[in-house]
Amino acid sequence: MKPISANELVASIDQAVSLPEVCLRINEMVEDASSSAQDISQVIMQDANLSARLLRLVNSAYYGLPGKVSTISRAITFVGTEELRDLTIVTTSCKMFSGIPSSMINMRDFWHYSIATGILARQFSRQCNVLHPERLFVVGVLHDIGRLVILWHLSTLARDILLIAHGKNQLFSAAEEEVLGFTHSEVGYELCQNWKLPQSIANIIRFHHQPGSAKEHRLETALVHIAQALAYDLVWPSESDTSVDNIDEQTWELSGLSLTQCQETLGEAGLQIMELYSLLVGNAARHRTPA
């Protein structure tokens, strides 16, 4: 039966899309002032695979730390508890939704696109002097996770959406609204609420296709809007009617950035995108990178 709202959809599949217990525990501890960095590191170290993935990320060129970090407690010292929490959620999310048929979406391409969005959003936020630009990386990676929920749990209706959108990034939301009565942005928002992520992350995801409608975090939402458009054209290039052509004009005014600047940033971020894709998903050698 078709759900009547994004909230109902997420509530109906609560167990299927819930974060592992270790992620939920870390999230609670980060928000709890009485929990120390050592307490958080002890919880993370109980999961050997998660610990190893986090250390690989922290030791990557993405962070450019001066020396090798060999322990989780040391990693927290360098990147902070909140960012390590965000990395925990990102590494876990990239391992979810494995049951979606390849005929509906290539999951490797999807995560390539999502990781590129995260890296670009982080870079743009630095250029715009946004406070805590690292937060934009996790927002970028998760911004379209609602689309995966729809593909995974409403597969028949999702096929109708794919046919209507015809691979055009700018048409997905309208197609979802027509078929479902709600969009992947709303599903992503509800999933963030379900996971008890910071409200700022949820709000930016909710409005990443309509930055002009955002009441809070407007600059950050605009930057994610720009980042996802460039990343979409990177992974799924089109000779006509590109995502960049449909970037909301208000975002350029709000950010103070230009398309030329953003395209230059994309070119400079190519190696970072390859590296983080390899660490989070797998071998990125056969995927497109900026020229």
Buried b (16+ CB within 10 A) or exposed e, 92-103: bbbebbeebeee
Sequence-distant (6+) residues with CB within 8 A of 72 are 41, 44, 45, 51, 54, 55, 84
CB neighbours (10 Å) of residue 63?
Answer: 14
Q: Kindly list the domain boundaries of the chain, sorted by start residue.
A: 20-93, 99-291
Between the alpha carbon of residue 172 and those of residues 97, 102, 154, 183, 262, the distances in Å are 19, 18, 15, 8, 23
What global pTM score does this model have?
A: 0.91
Both tokens of 196, joined, read: 């008890």
Both tokens of 100, joined, read: 């979606």
Q: pLDDT of 137-169, one tens digit each?
A: 999 999 999 999 999 999 999 999 999 998 888
CB neighbours (10 Å) of residue 47?
Answer: 18
DSSP 289: -
Helix/strand/coil percentages in the chain, nearest 5: 65, 0, 35
Q: What pLDDT score does 141 carry? A: 95
Q: What pLDDT score does 24 carry? A: 86
* Of residues 137, 151, 129, the one with CA closest to residue 273: 137
Tens digits of pLDDT across the chain (291 residues): 677 899 999 999 877 788 888 888 998 998 888 999 899 999 999 889 889 989 999 998 888 888 899 999 999 988 898 888 888 999 888 888 877 888 999 999 999 999 999 999 999 999 999 988 888 999 999 999 999 999 999 999 999 999 999 888 889 999 999 999 999 999 999 999 999 888 999 999 999 999 989 999 999 999 999 999 999 999 999 877 789 998 988 899 999 999 999 999 999 999 999 999 998 887 544 444 433
Q: Is the domain 99-291 a CATH 1.10.3210.10 member?
A: yes
Q: What pLDDT score does 108 carry? A: 92
Give the DSSP per-residue string, 4-70: SSHHHHHHHTTTTTPPPHHHHHHHHHHH-TT--HHHHHHHHHTSHHHHHHHHHHHTSTTT--SS---
φ, ψ for residue 212, nearest 5 deg: -70, -20
